[in-house]
Structure 1
Amino acid sequence: MSFNCNKTNYPLKDWIKRSLVFSICIVSILAIDVMYKDQSVFWWNILVAFLCFFGIIVFNLVLHIQFKVKDPIKSPVYVKVLSFLSTLGICALTICVTSRLGVMTIEERRILDSSTFGFLLLLFVRAAILNFIVQLWLYFVMNDYFRNQLELERSKLDKLNERAINQMLRQQVQPHFLFNALSSLKSLIKKDSTMAESYLLQLSDYLRASFTTSEDGLATVKQELQLCEDYLNMQKIRFNDAISYTIHVSESVLQDNLPIFSLQPLVDNALKHNQYTVEHPLRIEVLHQDGWIIVRNNVCPRKTSHEDNNNYGLNNLKERFSYYLKESVLIHDHGTSFEVHVKIIKL
Structure 2
Amino acid sequence: MFTPKKQVPFRISTRLIWISSISLGILTSIPKIVDHHFDPAEGIADFAVTSGFALLIWYYNIYTIPAYANRTGRKNVISPQLFKGLGVGLVLMFLLSSLQYYILSHLNFGPKMLMYEVRGILINLTFYMFIHILYQTYMNQQVVRELERSMAANLEAQYELLKQQVNPHFLFNSLNTLKYMVESQDSHSAEFILKLAAFYRSTLDSLKLNILPLRAELAIMDAYIYLQKARFEDGLLITQELQADLNETFIPPFTLQLLIENCIKHNIISLEKPLHISIYREGDYLVVKNNLQERKIPEASTGLGIKNINQRYLMLSDKEIVILKTDDTFTIKLPILHEYSNH
Shorter-chain TM-score: which interval? 0.7 to 0.9
State the AA in 2 paired with 1:315. K
Which of 10, 16, 26 pairs up with 1:21? 16
After superposition, the Cα gap between the structure-2 partners of 1:10 and 1:154, relative to the gap in structure 1 and judged at 3 Å, is closer
In structure 1, what is the Cα distance between the partners aligned to 2:208 and 2:86? 44
State the AA in 1 paired with 2:296. K
Map Cα deviations across residues 277-298 of structure 1 (whole Å, 9 max, x no partner).
Answer: 2222111112233342211111
Please tell me whether residue 111 in structure 1 is matched to residue 103 in structure 2: no
Task: Report what 1:340 is aligned to.
Answer: 332
In structure 1, what is the Cα distance between the partners aligned to 2:255 and 2:48? 59
Task: Report what 1:53 is aligned to.
Answer: 54
Greater RCO structure (CA 8 Å; 6+ sep): 1
In structure 2, what is the Cα distance between the partners aligned to 1:33 and 1:121? 11
State the AA in 2 paired with 1:96. S
In structure 1, what is the Cα distance between the partners aligned to 2:252 and 2:25? 55
Residue correspondence of structure 1 range 77-226 to structure 2 within 5 A: 83-102=85-104, 109-111=109-111, 119=113, 123=117, 129-213=122-206, 217-226=210-219
State the AA in 2 paired with 1:11. P
In structure 2, what is the Cα distance between the partners aligned to 1:223 and 1:243? 22
Aligned to 2:138, the other structure's residue is in SS state: helix
After superposition, the Cα gap between the structure-2 partners of 1:206 and 1:66, relative to the gap in structure 1 and judged at 3 Å, is same
Q: 1:71·1:142 contact (CA, 8 Å) conserved in 2? A: no
The alpha carbon displacement at 1:243 in A equals 0.9
Please tell me whether residue 229 in structure 1 is matched to residue 222 in structure 2: yes
In structure 2, what is the Cα distance between the partners aligned to 1:55 and 1:72? 24
In structure 2, what is the Cα distance between the partners aligned to 1:31 and 1:215? 61
Range with greater deviation from structure 2 (78-87 or 331-340) = 78-87
In structure 2, what is the Cα distance between the partners aligned to 1:56 and 1:254? 54
After superposition, the Cα gap between the structure-2 partners of 1:80 and 1:9, relative to the gap in structure 1 and judged at 3 Å, is farther
Please tell me whether residue 11 in structure 1 is matched to residue 6 in structure 2: no
After superposition, the Cα gap between the structure-2 partners of 1:167 and 1:326, relative to the gap in structure 1 and judged at 3 Å, is closer
After superposition, the Cα gap between the structure-2 partners of 1:245 and 1:331, relative to the gap in structure 1 and judged at 3 Å, is same
The alpha carbon displacement at 1:140 in A equals 2.2
Root-mean-square deviation (CA, aligned residues, Å) is: 3.4
In structure 1, what is the Cα distance between the partners aligned to 2:292 and 2:119? 70
Map Cα deviations across residues 190-235 of structure 1 (whole Å, 9 max, x no partner).
Answer: 2244311111111111101111247661111111111122112211
Task: Report what 1:314 is aligned to.
Answer: 306
In structure 1, what is the Cα distance between the partners aligned to 2:60 and 2:5? 23
Per the normalisation by structure 1, the TM-score is 0.80
Aligned to 2:248, the other structure's residue is in SS state: coil
Q: 2:160·2:308 contact (CA, 8 Å) conserved in 1? A: no
The alpha carbon displacement at 1:34 in A equals 4.6
Aligned to 1:323, the other structure's residue is in SS state: helix
Any unmatched runs of 5+ in structure 2?
A: 35-39
Q: 1:329·1:343 contact (CA, 8 Å) conserved in 2? A: yes
Task: Report what 2:37 is aligned to.
Answer: none
Task: Report what 2:315 is aligned to.
Answer: 323
Residue correspondence of structure 1 range 264-303 to structure 2 within 5 A: 264-303=257-296
After superposition, the Cα gap between the structure-2 partners of 1:48 and 1:268, relative to the gap in structure 1 and judged at 3 Å, is farther
After superposition, the Cα gap between the structure-2 partners of 1:32 and 1:262, relative to the gap in structure 1 and judged at 3 Å, is same
Q: 2:89·2:120 contact (CA, 8 Å) conserved in 1? A: yes
The alpha carbon displacement at 1:149 in A equals 1.9
Range with greater deviation from structure 2 (54-63 or 197-206) = 54-63
In structure 2, what is the Cα distance between the partners aligned to 1:167 and 1:99? 72
Q: 2:237·2:275 contact (CA, 8 Å) conserved in 1? A: yes
In structure 2, what is the Cα distance between the partners aligned to 1:47 and 1:329? 57
Q: 1:72·1:135 contact (CA, 8 Å) conserved in 2? A: no
The alpha carbon displacement at 1:269 in A equals 1.6
Q: 1:10·1:65 contact (CA, 8 Å) conserved in 2? A: no
Task: Report what 1:115 is aligned to.
Answer: none
State the AA in 1 paired with 2:314. S
Range with greater deviation from structure 2 (66-75 or 245-254) = 66-75
Aligned to 1:51, the other structure's residue is in SS state: helix
Q: 1:259·1:321 contact (CA, 8 Å) conserved in 2? A: yes
